[in-house]
Chain A
Amino acid sequence: MKHQEDAELSALVKAKATRYEAPHALREKISAAMSHAEQPPKDHGTTSWLGWQQWMGMGVAFACGVMLSAVVVIFYSMSGQQERLAGQVIDGHVRSLMVAHLSDVISTDQHTVKPWFSGKLDYAPPVKDLAKEGFALVGGRLDYMDERPVAALVYQHKLHTINVYVWPVRDKSLSAEGTVSQHGFNVTFWQQEKMQYWAVSDLNGADLKRFAELLRKLPA
C-alpha cells in the first residue's frame, strides 16, 4: 500500500515539478570563466631561473597549443555552411527547452506524430520510435532551420532531451556527416535517403552517437 502511494507521489513529482534548465547565458558565462582560468600554481621552491617544472609547463602548454590547433583545424574543415547550421541547431534546441515549447504534438506514438506534420511541411519526415532502446519518442514540433520550416522530433533518454531536426538535403556538395560539440552540447548530423538529420542534446557524445546509429538503422 505504502509502496504504491510512494510510486504515485513519485510519478506526480516527476510529471509536475519543474526541472529548471540552465539559462544559455549561464552556460556562456561559465565557458568564458573556464577559458580565463589561471594556470595551476607553480612550485617556486627551485632556485634556478627556469626550473624543470616550468620547462615541463611550457612543454605541456605547447602540446595543448598543438592539440588546440588540431581541434581548430578539424572544426574549420567543416564548411562554413555546416558550422552555421550547427549553431542554428543548438540555438533551436536551447530555445525549445527555454520557452516551454518543446512539442506541438505530444505523443509517444509515431503514427500520431507523423500525420501531424502532413499539411504543415512539403515533405514527410520519417518518424521512428526507439523506446525499446531507451530513447523514447515524446513528440514533435515545427521549427525553422536553413531558411525553411523543418520537422523537429523530440526524444528523451533518462532526463536528457534530444531534438532531431529533419529536412530534405538541398546542397548535395556538403559532406554527409559529422559531429560538433559546443558549449556542452553535442551535435551529430548525417544524411539518409535524401534527408538530412541533425541530432542535438546535452547528452554525452557517446550516447548521442549510439542514438544516431540506432535511428539510422531502424527502417522508417
Chain B
Amino acid sequence: MNKQAQQFEKVALPHLSAAYNLARWLVRDEHVAQDMVQEAYIRALKYFAAFKGGEIRPWLLGIVRNTCYTWLQGNRHAEDSYEFDEDRDSGAYAAVFGGTDNNPEAMLLSKQENSRVNFAISSLPPVFREVLVLRELEGMSYEEIAAVAGIPAGTVMSRLARARIMLRAELNCPIIKEGEI
C-alpha cells in the first residue's frame, strides 16, 4: 500500500458507517449501497491528493452522495417503484437503540414504530431525505451538510424545514397495506 492510500485509509475508514448510512438511505438497497460506498472510496482515494485539509467527513460524504445520485439518475425505475417491504423497512437490521427491554410486546410496538418512521423518510424525495438523514442521524451542522450537498447553508435550512413538513404529513397518514386490518 502506498503512503497516500495508508493515510487515506486512516482518515476515511472511521467514517465508513456514516458513508454507508447515507448511501443506504439514498439508494434504499443494501447491496447497491455497498457498491456505492466502495466506488466512492476508490474515487475519493484518487482525489485525495487534491484534498486540501479541512474536514474529511463532508468531503467524503459529498463523493458518496454524488456516486449515489449518478446511480439514481441511471436507475429512475428504482425511484418510482419504491414500495413498502417488511424486511427492508422494518428496521430489523439495525434498530439498535429501540428503547425496548425484553418485553416482546414492547419490542413489537417499537419495531412497528421503527418501520413507520423509516418508511416515511424513505418516501421523501432524495434531496429532502439526505438533509434529514445527515442532520438527524449523523448530527451534522448546516455548514457540513451544505458542503456534502454542494448547496448554500440557507438552502439546507429551507430544505430541512420542507423535509419536516413532508415527513409530518407522511407520519400523519399511516399507510394501510393490503390485507392489513
| B38 touching A14, Cβ below 8 Å | no
Instruction: Check B113 against A16 for contact (C-beta < 8 Å).
Output: yes
Q: Say how far B54's CB is from chain A's closest CB, in angstroms.
A: 16
Q: A88 to chain B: closest CB distance in Å?
A: 20
Q: Are B17 and A202 in contact (CB under 8 A)?
A: yes
Q: When the two chains form the complex, which single residue of A22, A25, A102, A183 contacts B97, counting CB atoms closer than 8 Å? A: A102
Contact with A100, one of B8, B19, B95, B118 (Cβ below 8 angstroms): B95
Instruction: Verify if A46 is at the interface (C-beta below 8 Å from B).
Output: no
| CB-based nearest B residue for A139 | B97
Shortest CB distance A65–B (Å): 10
Q: Chain A residues with Cβ under 8 A from B81's Cβ?
A: none
Q: Contacts of A16 on B, CB cut-off 8 Å? A: 91, 98, 113-114, 116-118
Which residues of chain B from 67 to 121 have any CB-CB distance to chain A below 8 Å in the complex? 91-102, 113-114, 116-118, 121
Measured between beta carbons, the chain B residues less than 8 angstroms from A19 are 17, 21, 94, 96, 137-138
CB atoms of A15 and B94 under 8 A apart: no
Indicate whether A54 reaches chain B with its CB closer than 8 angstroms.
no
Asked if A30 is an interface residue, CB under 8 A from chain B, the answer is yes
Instruction: Assign chain A's interface to a size class.
Output: 35 or more
**Of all chain A residues, which has the CB nearest B114?**
A16
B94–A98 touching, CB < 8 Å: yes
Q: Select from chain B the residue with minimum beta-carbon distance to A159.
A: B139
> Given contacts A13-B136, A20-B25, is CB(A30)–CB(B38) below 8 Å?
yes
Residues of B within 8 A of A25 (CB): 34
By a CB distance below 8 angstroms, the chain B residues around A37 are 1-2, 4-5, 45
**Interfacial chain B residues near A64, Cβ < 8 Å:** 2-3, 6
Q: Complex formed: what's the CA distance from A169 to B18 in Å?
A: 36
Assess whether A43 is interfacial by the CB under 8 Å rule. no
Is residue A77 contacting chain B, with contact meaning CB distance below 8 A? Answer: no
Q: Are A26 and B16 in contact (CB under 8 A)?
A: yes
Q: Taking A22-B17, A37-B1 as contacts, is the C-beta distance between A100 and B132 under 8 angstroms?
A: no
Q: Check A50 for interface membership: any CB of B closer than 8 A.
A: no
Known: A13-B121, A16-B113, A158-B139. A34 touches B1 (CB 8 A): yes
Give which listed residue, A10, A35, A105, contacts B136 with CB less than 8 A: A10
* Chain A hits for B25, CB < 8 A: 20
Residues in chain B near residue A30, CB distance under 8 A: 13, 16, 37-38, 41
Please measure, in the bound complex, the distance between the C-alpha atom of A36 and the C-alpha atom of B3, giving whole angstroms. Answer: 12
Q: Which of B1-45 contact A (CB under 8 A)?
A: 1-6, 8-9, 13-14, 16-17, 19-21, 24-25, 30, 33-34, 37-38, 41-42, 45
B49 within 8 A of A: yes
User: A186 CB to closest chain B CB, in angstroms?
Assistant: 8
| Alpha-carbon distance between A104 and B103 when the two chains are bound, in angstroms | 11
- Given A106-B99, A183-B13, A184-B14, check contact A17 B92 (CB 8 Å): no
Interface pairs A-B: 9 shortest CB-CB? A184-B13, A22-B20, A37-B5, A16-B117, A20-B24, A35-B1, A13-B136, A22-B16, A18-B91
Show 24 residue pairs from A and B whose CB-CB distance is below 8 angstroms, ordered by the A residue. A9-B167, A13-B136, A16-B113, A16-B118, A17-B118, A17-B137, A18-B94, A19-B138, A20-B24, A21-B17, A23-B30, A26-B34, A33-B41, A33-B42, A34-B5, A34-B6, A35-B5, A37-B1, A64-B3, A64-B6, A100-B94, A159-B137, A184-B16, A204-B14
